[in-house]
Structure 1
């Protein structure tokens, strides 16, 4: 029954439900690769460890299950830290397993040596710990998996010394009991219902942490007559045709006026952070009820607010069941015509701010399959699209919201496509961001993924140039010489096309979903 610990870890992960591992083998973590095939786990070879971490992130967002990456000591782990930082800010369950040196205090000059690998990981992970025995490695893995399912999911890093990975070990023990997420009391439930039904103009704000409540949200809004807003990560939670839906326009200055009109705000699964609002506060001057799994978020409540620690899905489902037992559905508490007028105004603002992007977005949305999963990068096209593109279902547009790293979209989309074989996956990115993780195109070709890669090419760092102009700074260092992206894609073995019209763009997107290989689709403002 004994095997090298590296092999036992792969077997343990398989028994815990892990199907795919992303990574790059190296001389220090080679023992981790001994048991992958034997355990029946699929390995996806990234071209850079940053790409491996992004792939694990994309896989986790697509499945709701942990994304796992295998990393080597020192630079390999450091390369992945950008992806781990993104997973932390966006609450994504990524497990990084890395080899580490056996001794660093008394020896110098070793391959891949750094001063504090665990400490480096702790700056971007929920925790980053070294396992100094097989039992410790097993315990940390189970701890990570348990916390992913019972708390706000954030990345964990486990470092295993090289000699320990190669030493014989007994198999991992059976999995520990599953820990349940926090549940609110009946008293909390009925207090929230009473407050919402007692309000004259209740407003719900749903964030990405409310995805589990997708089925209950339309019912709760209809029953209470409340208006609804979503963060970018919460898009798809409120049906686009709900008459009192204000969209994902929280970053519009006018949304502060809407919040000021409310006499009760219920914030579900959202931090209402800087990257949600792009201002200091929501703008309300009334009580707020915050429903969240994370006590750190709830600690931000004001004196007049209420804090409910609960998993959003269970809580809102309970609301949708309890409300009809107490009262009939309320009529709308807001003026639907005024809400439609406000949304139209905000859309016009974006159209003026970002010429051409709204028109291209509309064309893409017309032909994008409802079950498509979209991964976008830090690019002007995505900034505009994620405000005006109402998603037909939640959890199907993923963006590097918090950490805001360039290079996310392509490898994350690869992870998402691996997670959902046969289902449509799409990447949206800019000309600069693509060059951060361009080599991962080789992985997509190698896997035979029918992956459309929508490239917004404005030949510059457009958002930074605009920021400089607004700050009265002469634009500097915002234009770089781009390669021939179409030729570069073909060199990797991918398809490539540059549509001349919006109709051509739609046709290219439809074709790319069945191409049997990735297709780079270059978009410019000349399309409009």
Structure 2
């Protein structure tokens, strides 16, 4: 005879869940007690929002279920931003929250979110930010609901799900007698054989006639563990590879067929490979705003687009695909390779322009570090198999452009939902899921100020994350936008504390650096220490990252903006 949270914990144990992230509160108190007596490691966060971010990080580069929990009302609502990340970035996450006693709904109970009599409607809010939100009304339905929710989190395009647990089901005398282990029944998303043949024929026709094809890979290729098959694919058929920011590292960026990042802050070599291509094979990406130069309507004009995605809704959202394959990326590329093998003979080696970041002159700064040089230094010293995370801000553009990843390394930004500070906290989940990997966060000072108090969570749980703060005392990305659009800026400058001293006050290691040499010493010490470390890097304000709103390059983008203003668009 089990209590409801004992049932949930035991069910999660049965599918291999090892870690759960959450906050506390009376309504969820018995969840904390149940986890204490389970094999699942509970990570108590300072703020519930961080718990949801950590659950996302836990699922990011694994096939593990991220689990987060919170009490009823405001605590539960604090999970919503993280669930928005899980939804946009395709992470299998389960959120568990308390709920008002069913007999008290709409009758004046504290933290009532039943939606009755002027109370917030948490069922509607969680339904809007997950694949589905469940309410357990009968304790004997717990295992069935848990199993359905977990399978839904993994089904098709992964995403978040949510379960409400009413407080009346946590009463001491309420027990369930029909416990059973949970079964995962998710089938892989396999490609349709007829569509595979059609895609193979298009690619074969292009290759055999001397027309150019290019592969555009996104995070879906990494999530499906398609790295090895992608390497074999591009080498066998001599296809240039360009990636989204989140697809960085699917093949080592030093590989001669890797043309770089296709993005507004990407490499001109990638733009050239795209522009020269007649056929674009988009694998595991959603062709979203920044990877399409502002959802540019003419991007695929005079090109044949072939799109592979695990979600049918991601295909053809804006750009019509000549051929579409709803499939796991790895399975799709394996099937296309097999079908192509008999259609294409030996392919002559091609020359692909490599990334051009070394050709841009980065002038030294006095009393501060050039952010491009800081990004280059991170890349040079990033250990094998490391994970580099970026939050929202110009530091993302610097790292995406200047850090070259080798095989086995990963890079991730926040996706379309794009909140600040998600990876400042999500890094803890990444490290707990894969403790053998070095995890580094490049974050802005604004991002760290929002969420850096979870450093104590890392300390308490012995999670050695390295935070590199790009510190220039301003919201640079917002400032750039204001100046470009309104020719003035407002409310973007702020005063920071001494982040290194703060880190030391928490018991972590902290370094304040204003030269490249000092940063490299601090970064090496952080990697070898195995301790949570904050590196406060003072960067120059007088440097702007590479940026273009046009696939034809920065100069073309400037002229297009001028033309828009003259037309009054």
Shared fold (TM-score greater than 0.5)? yes
Displacement of 1:15 in angstroms is: 0.6
Q: Is the 8 A contact 2:514 2:539 kept in 1?
A: no
Name the structure 2 match of 1:247.
260
Q: Is the 8 A contact 1:229 1:250 kept in 2?
A: no
In structure 2, distance between residues paired with 1:393 and 1:65 = 22
In structure 2, distance between residues paired with 1:421 and 1:257 = 39
Q: Is the 8 A contact 2:378 2:403 kept in 1?
A: no
Q: Is the 8 A contact 2:131 2:153 kept in 1?
A: no
Q: Does 1:190 align with 2:197?
A: yes
Tell me the alpha carbon deviations over residues 455-498 of structure 1, each in whole angstroms, 9 at most, x when there is no partner. 11001111111111111332110111211212211221111112
Tell me the alpha carbon deviations over residues 291-322 of structure 1, each in whole angstroms, 9 at most, x when there is no partner. 11101012437666111111111121233344
Tell me the alpha carbon deviations over residues 205-238 of structure 1, each in whole angstroms, 9 at most, x when there is no partner. 1111111211111111122222211111111113
Q: Does 1:81 align with 2:80?
A: yes
Give aligned pairs, total: 521
User: Aligned runs of 1:29-68 on 2, under 5 Å?
Assistant: 29-68=28-67
Name the structure 2 match of 1:344.
356
Name the structure 1 match of 2:96.
97
Q: Which moved more, 1:66-75 or 1:54-63?
A: 54-63
Distance change (3 Å), C-alpha of 1:461 and 1:500: closer
Q: Is the 8 A contact 2:11 2:182 kept in 1?
A: no
In structure 2, distance between residues paired with 1:412 and 1:458 = 23
User: Aligned runs of 1:263-342 on 2, under 5 Å?
Assistant: 263-281=278-296, 282-300=299-317, 305-332=322-349, 335-336=351-352, 339-340=353-354
Distance change (3 Å), C-alpha of 1:110 and 1:423: same
Structure 1 unmatched runs, 5+? none
Displacement of 1:384 in angstroms is: 1.6
Q: Is the 8 A contact 1:252 1:346 kept in 2?
A: no
In structure 2, distance between residues paired with 1:423 and 1:37 = 27
In structure 2, distance between residues paired with 1:74 and 1:430 = 31
Q: Is the 8 A contact 1:457 1:523 kept in 2?
A: yes
Q: Is the 8 A contact 1:102 1:161 kept in 2?
A: yes
Q: Does 1:128 align with 2:133?
A: yes
In structure 1, distance between residues paired with 2:324 and 2:318 = 7
Name the structure 1 match of 2:443.
429
Distance change (3 Å), C-alpha of 1:252 and 1:24: closer
In structure 2, distance between residues paired with 1:409 and 1:452 = 12
Name the structure 2 match of 1:463.
477
Tell me the alpha carbon deviations over residues 425-466 of structure 1, each in whole angstroms, 9 at most, x when there is no partner. 112111111111121011111122222110110011111111
User: Aligned runs of 1:254-265 on 2, under 5 Å?
Assistant: 258-265=273-280
C-alpha RMSD over aligned residues: 2.6
Displacement of 1:347 in angstroms is: 6.6
Q: Is the 8 A contact 2:21 2:54 kept in 1?
A: yes
Q: Secondary structure at the match of 1:169?
A: coil
Displacement of 1:326 in angstroms is: 4.1
Structure 2 unmatched runs, 5+? 114-118, 544-569
Displacement of 1:189 in angstroms is: 2.0
Displacement of 1:122 in angstroms is: 2.0
Q: Secondary structure at the match of 1:320?
A: helix
Name the structure 1 match of 2:550.
none
Q: Is the 8 A contact 2:265 2:397 kept in 1?
A: no
Name the structure 2 match of 1:403.
417
Tell me the alpha carbon deviations over residues 15-39 of structure 1, each in whole angstroms, 9 at most, x when there is no partner. 1111001111210011222321322
Q: Is the 8 A contact 1:256 1:284 kept in 2?
A: no
In structure 1, distance between residues paired with 2:139 and 2:346 = 57
In structure 2, distance between residues paired with 1:374 and 1:506 = 16
In structure 2, distance between residues paired with 1:223 and 1:79 = 49
In structure 2, distance between residues paired with 1:172 and 1:491 = 46
TM-score (norm 1): 0.92
Question: Which among 419, 424, 444 is matched to residue 433 of structure 2?
Answer: 419
Q: Does 1:138 align with 2:137?
A: no
User: Aligned runs of 1:496-511 on 2, under 5 Å?
Assistant: 496-511=510-525
Distance change (3 Å), C-alpha of 1:3 and 1:156: same
In structure 2, distance between residues paired with 1:350 and 1:468 = 25
Q: Which moved more, 1:264-273 or 1:109-118?
A: 109-118
Q: Secondary structure at the match of 2:80?
A: helix
Question: Which among 393, 398, 419 is matched to residue 384 of structure 1?
Answer: 398
Q: Secondary structure at the match of 1:173?
A: coil
In structure 1, distance between residues paired with 2:362 and 2:333 = 32
Displacement of 1:51 in angstroms is: 0.8
Tell me the alpha carbon deviations over residues 176-196 of structure 1, each in whole angstroms, 9 at most, x when there is no partner. 462312212332222222211
